[in-house]
Amino acid sequence: MPKPIYRVIIDFGFKKKGSVRPFVYKKIDTFALTNIDDEIKKDDNILQRMARQVKRKLHEIDIIFRDILVEGRYGETNK
């Protein structure tokens, strides 16, 4: 059964775990298999993509979400 693919723009902040410095904010433009905000926040592929963008490992950073914009449906998966 094919699943819909959505384009999402995520505004997020990150900092090293245990750091007292403020969060550094960035944006990422990617695709997700859901349009529900809570599921997007827990999606492992998106979290890994964020960590890769800031050149850190996922277990080394804290991530907060400022805004999640679901831009629209872009098609379906193959399976």
The domain total for the chain is 1
pTM: predicted TM-score of the whole model, two decimal places:
0.87
Q: Across the chain, what does the average pLDDT equal?
A: 94
Task: CATH number of the domain at 42, please.
Answer: 3.10.20
Residues 1-23: tens digit of each pLDDT? 898 999 999 999 999 999 999 99
pLDDT at 23: 96
Q: How far apart are CA 66 and CA 74, in angstroms?
A: 23
Q: Which domain holds residue 46?
A: 4-76
Q: Which of 3, 29, 24 is closest to 14 using CA atoms?
A: 24
HSE-CB at 12 with a 13 A cutoff on CA atoms is 24
Residue 79's pLDDT band (boundaries 50, 70, 90)?
A: confident
